[in-house]
Amino acid sequence: MSVLSDMPVTKDESSHRIETDVLIIGAGPAGLYGTYYAGFRGLRVAVMDVLPQCGGQISAMYPEKPIFDIAGFPSVRGRDLVDNLVAQAEPYGPVHLLGQRAAELSHDADGLPVVRSDQGTEVHAGAVVITGGVGTFTPRPLPAGEAFLGRGQIYFVAQPADHTDRDVVIVGGGDSAFDWAVTLAPVARSVTLVHRTDRFRAHRATVEKARDLGIEILTDSEVSVLHGTSHVEHVEIRHRLDRTTRLLAAQTVVAALGFKADLGPLQHWGLTLRARRIAVDTRMATNIPRVYAAGDITDYPGKVRLISVGFGEVATAVNNAATVIDPEAQLFPGHSTEKEN
């Protein structure tokens, strides 16, 4: 398959068949930057993700959280980072296959990868770049809240404004729990954080900020019962040491108990894995021909899992994939400042 910079991704709607130069699997930050970079290189690109929106964990878990380790941005809100990455790639016309899990990998008669999604879409590509982060992540449930899931009990705070003038109870002691507590404090009627021990996994500065905002933090405690009719109205909290209980008004209960990560179908593709991560070489190439990986899902000696590192890795993956797709292509395409606007 050669580089076809003047042609769009080929789609056959009747058979759900798509032909492209590069398929990016994972629409998190690394995948979105890889989408841009493939377009910059003149490659046709499609991006697939099991989530219904771009952004990966950022969009699902902390869209309002400030991120401080992106080069050139002293601070950038998660939602804004994702929006900017999508806008950066948009001029190159990527095809977004959202709400679709990459289920099967095979190779056609010419040795080109074919990826089939759980929705029946068949993508024929010159190369595949896997940027799936931690894979599929499933929130850890709040046992007492399962009956009220979607009726006041939630796992992620997508829109803080939706909780204006509500009494909010957040369960957990990690970064997400405290980040959401701090984010919701200015808009909610009240915010109470409940944690089963007196030690927190969250950054100390965020814990102190929550305390400075007057957020009530109940330690050595757990949510034992949720009360309400069609929606959560009250939360019963039990102290784990003296077994006393307390009833709080609550219209929103956020279960921020972490999540379970799973590579899903990827673990059956024949990829070399190390501790549920995909092993890659310095080209970001996996052990499978024409399949590359970048970002948090990869593993190699000295690996550092940062968004900024993922940006560099996916650019490396795309550049090396370009030379396999088109043997006449140069590994280094030049700087973007050398291109005409």
Positions at the binding site for FAD = 49, 57, 62, 102, 137, 296, 337
Binding residue positions:
49, 57, 62, 102, 137, 296, 337
- Tell me the C-alpha distance between 155 and 139, whole Å: 7
Cβ neighbours, 10 Å, residue 9: 19
CA distance 323 to 317: 10
Q: How far is CA 58 from the centre of its chain?
A: 5
Q: Are 310 and 46 in contact (CB under 8 A)?
A: no
Cα–Cα dist 10/19, whole Å: 5
Phi (first) and psi of residue 180, to 5 degrees:
-70, -35
- Helix and strand numbers (H, E) in the chain are 6, 23
Angle between helices 29-40 and 78-89 (to 10 degrees): 20
Instruction: Residue 79: count other Cβ atoms within 10 Å of its Cβ.
Output: 17
Say if residue 96 is exposed, middle or buried (CB neighbours under 10 Å; 0-12, 13-18, 19+). Answer: middle
Report the candidate in 129, 136, 133 with the shortest Cα–Cα distance to residue 23.
129
